[in-house]
């Protein structure tokens, strides 16, 4: 028996006209596709965003069928790393089709890139949208979970939740096609409990009516879904509702922490309230922020209930009369500013850590007390280069401390000279460590710096070896001369000369002066070498007395 076909796939729309609900979004999508057909696209990519089950994927596939476009789709079941996107979607977005028609590139769940499986996918997706030559369609549930550069590079088209009457109408058509007689009340119950999700409504209908010839109200056993509430719906209840308890209850279904919710309320309060209501609203919001501060300090999360009630029910009760009309709610601008200054804050923290490690203080103390002082030191031409070299600052950190930009000539000069000074110090340290290690070996394929140091070391070793050989030969000659002088009647006292190279302290003068004593081997001669006999006699005749050697200490 073949497996049952899912009704969501069996009755998926074939054209954009068959996509129920979101008529405005469908018209915008059709206009975008028509601009590609004309050869003058509005934008390279569009983002279809909205709650799950509202027809975003169905609209994308219906668009390809209606305009007879080839398409390629990547969803959450595919590995959407940077390499996979560039390997699959990249060539598809840049190459032409045999028919000459556009090729639609569909990237589903574009807001759900995370983990090792999707590493680098967001940046690759942004490059794809910017460099595409074919229409690209991104599908997302949460528009603001996507990065701002990606949102700016594409046109956003919002899909809203489908009304219950529209879902019930679609369910009625499916029942007629399947030959199932359905009670209108049963269909309406399924539609209402779907929560604006067309896909869920069709799945619930299939679970209740498949294999049946009739569907009654008592056959429907679908419970209400735990649907995550939207932040915009909660803001509507807070600013336009009439019950403080209702506003508090609405926040319970919201997947936002009190720290995030207070930013939303703070951003949109001036848009919803005016005059005395605005003042009262900020008064309640300030008191809520006091409780949030106590939570951070005391780690007593039981105080969240007071902060939550003040920022929802308190703000709702602050208005003197009910307010109506459309308000274009917007996300907190503080989040946008934090995203824009993220790079600057990272540079500041990096510079603070380097300064703190040299001054033996914390990075927080450096940010509060020492950043301006170090900036003043860098402004001094004589101190800037040594200071930047010692702290190992890069160009961005120097520019931040000077209150300038990286491209200025002053910052570039300080950075380049500091790099040269650090390179010279590293060269000196390597040279000293190399000379200090007598048995160091030259690695194969060494750098020019190590080869130069190696040549100097080998030259020094050769000179030292020559001196040692010369000292050995001189020692042998002096030993032979003293043996001859020992046989004569008048022995000549010869002063011992210090060695050129390192030699042991003890001498062997007494043993060498004894008649008949055997001379030690040349290689084993110990003690300081002595002058030759001829040199000693010549010195005695010239002066008549013993002359001091230049080697005497």
DSSP class of residue 498?
P
CA distances to 254, 269, 309, 417, 523 from 238, in Å: 13, 10, 11, 59, 102
The two tokens of residue 488 are: 């004569």
348: left (phi over 0), alpha (psi -120 to 50) or beta: alpha
SS3 (DSSP) at 243: coil
The two tokens of residue 512 are: 């060498």
CA distances to 297, 494, 526, 535 from 509, in Å: 86, 10, 10, 18
The rounded distance, in Å, linking the Cα atoms of 372 and 374 is: 5
Domains in the chain: boundaries: 7-158, 164-219, 231-339, 342-434, 465-543
Query: Can you give 309-375 as a three-state secondary structure string?
Result: HHHHHHHHCCCCCCCCCCCCCCCCHHHHHHHHCHHHHHHHHHHHHHHHHHHCCCHHHHHHHHHHHHH
Q: Which of 60, 58, 238 is nearest to 136 (CA)?
A: 60
Tell me which CATH code domain 164-219 carries: 1.10.8.60
447: left (phi over 0), alpha (psi -120 to 50) or beta: beta
pLDDT value, residue 541: 52
The rounded distance, in Å, linking the Cα atoms of 208 and 398 is: 69
The rounded distance, in Å, linking the Cα atoms of 286 and 113 is: 36
First to last CA, the chain: 112
pLDDT value, residue 31: 92
Query: What is 7-158's CATH superfamily?
Result: P-loop containing nucleotide triphosphate hydrolases (3.40.50.300)
Contact 50, 81 (CB under 8 A): no
pLDDT value, residue 216: 81
The two tokens of residue 257 are: 């922490």
The rounded distance, in Å, linking the Cα atoms of 162 and 480 is: 117
Residue with tokens 């969501």: 8
The rounded distance, in Å, linking the Cα atoms of 73 and 55 is: 16
DSSP states along 14-73: SSGGGS-S-HHHHHHHHHHHHHHHHT--S-SEEEEE-STTSSHHHHHHHHHHHTT-EEEE
The rounded distance, in Å, linking the Cα atoms of 111 and 131 is: 20
The rounded distance, in Å, linking the Cα atoms of 71 and 105 is: 6
pLDDT by residue for the chain (553 residues), tens digit each?
A: 345 678 888 888 888 888 888 889 999 999 999 998 888 888 888 999 988 888 898 999 999 899 988 888 876 445 555 666 766 676 677 666 666 778 888 888 777 664 444 445 667 778 888 888 888 898 988 887 777 888 888 889 999 888 888 998 988 898 888 888 888 888 888 888 887 888 888 888 888 887 778 888 777 765 455 445 578 888 888 988 888 888 888 888 777 788 889 999 999 999 989 889 999 999 999 999 999 999 989 988 888 889 999 999 999 988 888 877 778 888 888 877 776 677 788 889 999 999 999 899 999 999 999 989 999 999 988 889 999 999 999 888 999 899 888 888 889 899 999 999 888 888 888 888 887 655 444 444 444 434 444 554 455 555 545 444 344 434 543 454 454 444 444 444 444 444 444 444 444 444 444 444 444 444 445 555 554 555 555 554 554 445 544 444 3
pLDDT value, residue 97: 67
How buried is residue 299: exposed, middle or buried, by Cβ count under 10 Å (0-12/13-18/19+)?
exposed
Determine the Cα angle at 539 with ends 537 and 540, to 5°: 65
SS3 (DSSP) at 441: coil
Contact 331, 264 (CB under 8 A): yes
């Amino acid at each position: 028996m073949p497996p049952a076909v899912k009704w969501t796939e069996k009755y998926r729309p074939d054209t954009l006209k068959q996509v129920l609900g979101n008529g405005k979004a469908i018209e915008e999508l059709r206009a975008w596709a028509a601009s590609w057909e004309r050869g003058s696209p509005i934008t390279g990519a569009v983002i279809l965003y909205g709650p799950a089950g509202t027809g975003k994927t169905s609209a994308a596939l219906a668009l390809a069928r209606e305009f007879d476009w080839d398409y390629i789709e990547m969803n959450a079941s595919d590995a959407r790393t940077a390499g996979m996107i560039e390997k699959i979607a990249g060539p598809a977005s840049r190459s032409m089709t045999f028919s000459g028609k556009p090729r639609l590139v569909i990237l589903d769940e574009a807001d759900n890139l995370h983990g090792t499986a999707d590493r680098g996918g967001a940046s690759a997706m942004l490059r794809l949208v910017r460099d595409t030559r074919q229409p690209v369609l991104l599908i997302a549930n949460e528009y603001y979970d996507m990065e701002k550069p990606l949102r700016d590079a594409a046109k956003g088209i919002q899909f809203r939740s489908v009304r219950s009457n529209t879902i019930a109408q679609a369910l009625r058509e499916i029942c007629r096609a399947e030959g199932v007689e359905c009670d209108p009340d049963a269909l309406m119950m399924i539609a209402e409990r779907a929560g604006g999700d067309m896909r869920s409504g069709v799945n619930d209908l299939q679970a209740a009516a498949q294999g049946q010839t009739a569907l009654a109200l008592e056959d429907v056993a679908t419970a209400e879904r735990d649907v995550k509430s939207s932040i915009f719906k909660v803001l509507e209840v807070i600013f336009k509702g009439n019950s403080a308890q209702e506003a508090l209850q609405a926040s319970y279904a919201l997947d936002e922490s009190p720290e995030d919710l207070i930013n939303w309320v703070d951003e949109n309060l001036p848009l919803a309230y005016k005059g005395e209501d605005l003042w009262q609203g900020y008064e309640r919001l300030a008191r809520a922020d006091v409780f949030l501060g106590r939570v951070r300090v005391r780690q007593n999360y039981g105080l969240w209930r007071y902060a939550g009630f003040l920022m929802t029910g308190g703000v709702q009760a602050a208005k003197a009369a009910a307010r109506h009309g459309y308000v274009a709610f917007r996300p907190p601008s503080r989040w946008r500013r934090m995203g824009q200054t993220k790079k600057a804050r990272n540079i500041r923290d990096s510079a603070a850590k380097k300064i703190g490690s040299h001054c033996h203080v914390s990075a927080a103390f450096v940010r509060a007390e020492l950043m301006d002082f170090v900036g003043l030191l860098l402004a001094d031409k004589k101190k800037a280069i040594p200071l930047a070299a010692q702290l190992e600052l890069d160009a961005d950190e120097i520019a931040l401390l000077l209150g300038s930009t990286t491209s200025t000539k002053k910052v570039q000069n300080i950075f380049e000279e500091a790099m040269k000074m650090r390179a010279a110090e590293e060269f000196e340290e390597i040279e000293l460590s190399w000379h200090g290690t007598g048995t160091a070996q030259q690695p194969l394929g060494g750098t020019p710096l190590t080869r130069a140091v190696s040549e100097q070391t080998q030259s020094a070793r050769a000179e030292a070896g020559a001196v040692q050989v010369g000292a050995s030969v001189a020692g042998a000659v002096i030993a032979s001369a003293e043996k001859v002088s020992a046989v004569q009647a008048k022995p000549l006292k010869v002063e011992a000369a210090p060695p050129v190279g390192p030699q042991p302290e003890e001498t062997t003068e007494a043993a060498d002066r004894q008649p008949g004593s055997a001379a030690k081997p040349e290689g084993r001669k110990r003690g300081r070498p002595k002058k030759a006999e001829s040199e000693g006699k010549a010195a005695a005749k010239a002066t008549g007395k013993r002359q001091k050697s230049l080697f005497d200490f």
